[in-house]
Amino acid sequence: MSLAIDVRGLRFRYGGGSWVLDIPELSLERAQRAFLFGPSGSGKTTLLGVLAGVLEPEEGEVNVLDRDLTSLSGAQRDAFRAEHIGYVFQMFNLIPYLSVLDNIALPVRMNAARRARLDGAGIKETAALLADHLHIGDLLKKRVTELSVGQQQRVAACRALIGAPEIIVADEPTSSLDFDRREAFLELLFAECESAGATLVFVSHDRTLEGMFSRTISLPDVNKAAL
Amino acid sequence: MLVLDLALKSLRNRAFSTSLTVGSIALSVALLIGVENVRVGMRESFSNTISQTDLIVGAKGGTIQLLLYSVFGMGSPTNNLSWDTYREWAEHPAVEWTIPYGLGDSHRGFRVIGTNEDFYRYYRYRGGQEIALAQGRAGSEVFDVTLGADVAAELGYGLGDQVAVTHGIGEVGFLNHDEMPFTVVGIIEKTFTPVDRAVYVTLEGIEAIHFGWEDGAPPMPGEEHTHEEVLAMAEIEITQVTSFFVGAVNRRDVLRLQREVNDYEGEPMMAVIPGLALSEMWQGIGYAETGLRVVTIFVVLVGLLGMLVSLYTSLNERRREMAILRAVGAGPKRIVALLVLESVCLSAAGAIAGLALVYVLLSAGQPIVEAQAGLFIPIRPPGLIELLFLGAVVAAGFLMGFVPALKAYRTALHDGLAVRV
């Protein structure tokens, strides 16, 4: 089975500063649920930026779904991300001036290839179905500012999942939730990833969740640049 | 289109700052277009003070001076022309019509113009409008007087009122021709030209009030002519005119006619082409309008700078939004497009609102300006100038949009998906 992510000899730094990432080797199989942990400042968000093709490494190969992102232009990487990657932030995931529905629909409206993955189903219907799965079906018409933090994170998960991208990247999406809600959120996320066959890269500094994942990666162990 | 949808929703979300920005642009655009309208109105009403007159002829002197005293009722004539000279030119084969003017007297600050029925027949203003009478008839008898609309309104005169004419042009003449009272027989409809501020009598009337004044001083006691004596005269001989207006048979002859007048040997006299002289005059005073226009362009720039500031300062709050857009696949170009589009929407909305505001203000203010300032500002559908202004405002908004957009672009590239606040 081909790899979802295969990073080799990756080195990254901001401007001319010191190395933030120096990862000789890191790979993830498809449909894995990977738990990537590391203390703050260990380069977690930076690594996700590189994997998503937003940040460009200085050296190395970044193969995502067998495509080397470093060989793509910026616009190609943007299109690749739009089609193949769903992203969930730690908090404030939503665009304040869009409704819940519009927020969920954003990736498929942004990118035609992602839209094509709906297999002819309507954007609205798909969004509503996902929202139902994540138990926020009654919130679609609401303004995002009326939602609780937990509801916001579920909307963000719907947005990451719509159009069934192969890779879901979640950057500490549960750190603003209390413990019970974390587990509930994760279980819903897992169920959706599983049914879509998506690879989940979940980042956290909180190891209490580790047990729920099929694989654990310690960033300080793989990143030689870590302090 | 997604980016347009985002831009509009984002602007709506910031409704307060959006409406402030649009409002300030609208006000500045309204000022720009309003000033342009007033400017055009002023120039048109100025150059249309008199129309269809090919030449104005008077004693030799300054071009502008002749125009001022003949058309605008300002300044004093230097010299008169003899009646015989006037008749000679009036019968010139190239001349179709003339209007003689006898000037030099006033009534309570308003100029008195001695003329004849040709004034009512041939005088044209604002693109060929004729002198029309609001009340009564055109004066034709020695002691008839016809009033301009403003004169009648300001002095409260009506038909049948007695009017005394002052010798000289001052507000308060110290030598009153009290013994020669005139009777108001007609009031001219408002023209929004200097015609409104003049008092029209016949040339015979002018002669009559000067009986005994031939040496420039009041008649000696006992030598005055009474009202009745004048009326009893079979015919009053007209001796002089101050200037006269000429309509040529053929416009092609105007230049030749002008040269002939200027070279006339019987008397030192000159002819001016009113259109040329008016535009020459306007150029002299027109620098003020250029200054005004420059000021209003700067006002528009200030309005657009306000938009720039508002967009730029909002960027910091919007870094999270930019990161989200990047994460769902928006390239930096889309971020730039979003911000430029917001800027274009703001300036276009401001420009259109400004244009609408001009029409609202014009239709509300036109009668007031007309009544108060005598300035007629025509309300027309937006012309090339207005569209040019609006286009320039939107183009400026487009260009200015790149300032916040490029900042957001750099931030988006640098921040990646992290948001460092």
Helix H, strand E, coil C: the string for chain A is CCEEEEEEEEEECCCCCCCCEEEEEEEEECCCEEEEECCCCCCHHHHHHHHCCCCCCCEEEEEECCEEHHHCCHHHHHHHHHHHEEEECCCCCCCCCCEHHHHHHHHHHHCHHHHHCCCCCCHHHHHHHHHHHCCCHHHCCCEHHHCCHHHHHHHHHHHHHCCCCCEEEEECCCCCCCHHHHHHHHHHHHHHHHHHCCEEEEEECCHHHHHHCCEEEEHHHHCCCCC
Contacts of A94 in chain B (CB under 8 A): 324
* pLDDT higher than threshold 50 for residue B415: yes
The stretch B389-410 carries a mean pLDDT of 87
pLDDT at B217: 59
More confident residue, B282 or B363: B363
* pLDDT higher than threshold 60 for residue B203: yes
Report pLDDT digits (tens) over B153-197.
999 999 988 887 766 655 444 455 555 678 999 999 988 888 999
pLDDT at B127: 76
| B152 to A27, B52, B135: CA distances (angstroms) | 99, 27, 11
How far, in whole angstroms, is CA A186 from its chain's centroid?
Answer: 13
Q: Which of A6-20, A184-198, B32-46 has the lowest mean pLDDT?
A: B32-46
* pLDDT higher than threshold 50 for residue A196: yes
User: Across the interface, do B328 and A171 touch by the CB < 8 Å criterion?
Assistant: no
CA distance B305 to chain A (A): 25
Distance CA B25, CA B5 (A): 22
More confident residue, B244 or A115: B244
Report pLDDT digits (tens) over B17-35.
889 888 988 988 888 888 8
Distance CA A98, CA B13 (A): 9
pLDDT at B406: 86
Report pLDDT digits (tens) over B81-128.
999 999 999 999 999 999 999 998 888 888 999 999 999 999 998 878
Token representation of residue B280: 């020459």
Contacts of B286 (CB under 8 A, 6+ apart): B43
Distance CA B113, CA B136 (A): 18
Sketch the domain layout of chain B as residue ranges. Answer: 2-46+286-415, 55-272
pLDDT at A191: 86
* pLDDT higher than threshold 70 for residue B215: no
- Residue A40's pLDDT band (cuts 50, 70, 90): confident
Q: How big is the A-B interface in CB pairs under 8 Å?
A: 72
Distance CA A44, CA A61 (A): 18
Report pLDDT digits (tens) over A72-99.
888 888 888 888 988 888 777 788 888 8
The stretch B342-347 carries a mean pLDDT of 90
Distance CA B137, CA A103 (A): 79
Q: Taking Cα atoms as reference points, which of B102, B197, B205, B182 lies closest to residue B152?
A: B197
DSSP track, B139-165: --STTEEEE-HHHHHHHT--TT-EE--
User: Across the interface, do B9 and A92 touch by the CB < 8 Å criterion?
Assistant: no
Alpha carbon dihedral B71, B77, B81, B83, in 10-degree steps, equals 60
More confident residue, A34 or B233: A34
The stretch A177-195 carries a mean pLDDT of 83
CA distance B25 to chain A (A): 24
The stretch B233-249 carries a mean pLDDT of 86
Superfamily of domain A30-56+73-222: P-loop containing nucleotide triphosphate hydrolases (3.40.50.300)
Contacts of B334 in chain A (CB under 8 A): 110
Contacts of B320 in chain A (CB under 8 A): 92
Sketch the domain layout of chain A as residue ranges. Answer: 30-56+73-222
Token representation of residue B413: 């590239």
Q: Which of A19-28, A142-151, B168-177, B257-266 has the lowest mean pLDDT?
A: B168-177
The stretch A149-177 carries a mean pLDDT of 85
pLDDT at B170: 52
pLDDT at B12: 86
Instruction: Please state the φ and ψ torsions of residue B216, each to the nearest 5 degrees.
Output: 90, -5
Decide: B207 and B236 in contact? Cβ < 8 Å.
yes
Token representation of residue B400: 């200015």
pLDDT at B245: 95
* pLDDT higher than threshold 60 for residue A137: yes
pLDDT at B230: 66
> Which member of B14, B330, B418 has the closest CB to residue A45?
B418
- Residue B214's pLDDT band (cuts 50, 70, 90): low
Contacts of A109 in chain B (CB under 8 A): 2
**Has the ipTM of the complex gone over 0.90?**
no
Distance CA B347, CA B229 (A): 75
Residue corresponding to tokens 């956290």: A204
